[in-house]
Amino acid sequence: MTIGVSIVIPSWNGLEFLKRFLPSVTAAAVHYQQERNGPTEIVIVDDGSGDDSVDWLLGQGFFDFTTPDKDLAQPAQSYINSASKSQIKTNNLSVLGPPHPCQKLIRNELNQGFGPSCNLGFEAALHPLVFLLNNDVEVDLQAIAPLVENFTDDSVFAAHCRVFDLESRQECGSGKIGGFQKGFIRVHRSYVNVKQSSSAEEEETAQQKRDYSMFASGGSAMFNRKTFLQIGGFDGLLAPGYWEDVEISYRAWKRGYSVYYEPRSVVHHRVSSTMRKLNQRRLTRMKQRNRLIWHWLDLHDQKLLVAHVLWVILLSLSAPLRLQPGFLLAVGAALSKLGSIRKRRREERGAMRRSDAEVFDMFASLERRPDIFCFDGYAELKALEAKRGNNL
């Protein structure tokens, strides 16, 4: 499948990460151009950084596409047409091949947060598919093509990578199972496909098989750009960050689209590098607030919604006893947006094509498959790998 890919990377004070990880992104883009003859570009959205990221990127040949009324397509296409074959140097290798991917820089004068920055990147992207990456992700050379293969029709919203922790080398991102329990939608139960193929033909079939996933992580996933923008992008109610990727994936499921897990596409992530710099209590409250907002936007089953409300009341009443007063602050922050939430909720109810129960039933069926191993913690997966001789 020959199709263009835009690689979008939001970045805030990420100069050290860009220097370390951008070469692997460039190498993967060039490899995809060589292997599939598909054009690529790299779009970095600098979110009001206070370091020297912008100057460094401009020094690396990135074009400044910040001006809103600038024609984004024309200079990019001109650059692609005029670029000569060049040697792309990465951390570990040099690639002699087609023109260097077009490089765009979008600058936010003030920090807007993850979601708004990603939305700007999607709007500026030229190509039908957008590979969204964190700035602290190292991309395997052959990661792009398998993701692209999932987009066989317009019903596919996203496909996400298999992720390993860069420091520990342990797996930390695989397929995700969805369900509802104790008043909340559960999305972080993971799975891997464990069927042992007995022939080359079965192995090829297994590699081509696509498995559902509850959400596509915003740090290492590919999206259908047109669909992403049509359904509204990352919701501004969740700015500056957290749960945007889960919310838009669930929104896509409810609207009749699908999300897949692609284990052949591998990345390595320095987990939460940027967020380590921020106040952790504030981050926890933001996560709790956005998790509540997501439910209030997209959970439409009346029985499940009643269960959710009752659990929120119970957790609020018990928060002081559990020494979690921050939960009350998160509930208050979510309630302060109730007017906007109600408006968006009505929009999503009118656009949905699947019920909550239908989405959960799809994942219940996936979990029952004999070739699927589900787990709550990666220690369980490690134990299974040791038992099976690391053949997953």
Nearest alpha carbon to residue 351 among 297, 305, 291: 297
Rounded Cα distance, 24 and 166, in Å: 13
Side-chain-facing half-sphere of 51: CA atoms under 13 Å: 14
Rounded Cα distance, 32 and 79, in Å: 18
- Strands (DSSP E) contained in the chain are 5-11, 40-47, 63-64, 87-89, 94-96, 102-108, 129-133, 137-139, 156-165, 171-173, 175-181, 184-193, 211-212, 220-224, 258-269, 372-375
What is the structure's pLDDT at 271? 75
Residue ranges in the chain whose pLDDT is less than 70: 1, 67-99, 196-209, 272-279, 389-392
Structure tokens at 356: 């909550």
What is the structure's pLDDT at 168? 87
CA distances (Å), origin 34, targets 72, 287, 357 = 25, 41, 44
* 13 dihedral zone (left: phi>0; alpha: psi -120 to 50; beta): left
* 183 dihedral zone (left: phi>0; alpha: psi -120 to 50; beta): left
What is the structure's pLDDT at 50? 93
What is the structure's pLDDT at 316? 97
Is 145 within 8 Å of 262 (Cβ atoms)? no
What is the structure's pLDDT at 387? 78
What is the structure's pLDDT at 274? 55
pTM: 0.88
The number of helix segments (H) and strand segments (E) in the chain equals 14, 16
CA distances (Å), origin 91, targets 9, 141, 256 = 19, 12, 41
Residue 378: burial class (beta carbons within 10 Å; 0-12, 13-18, 19+)? middle
What is the structure's pLDDT at 390? 61
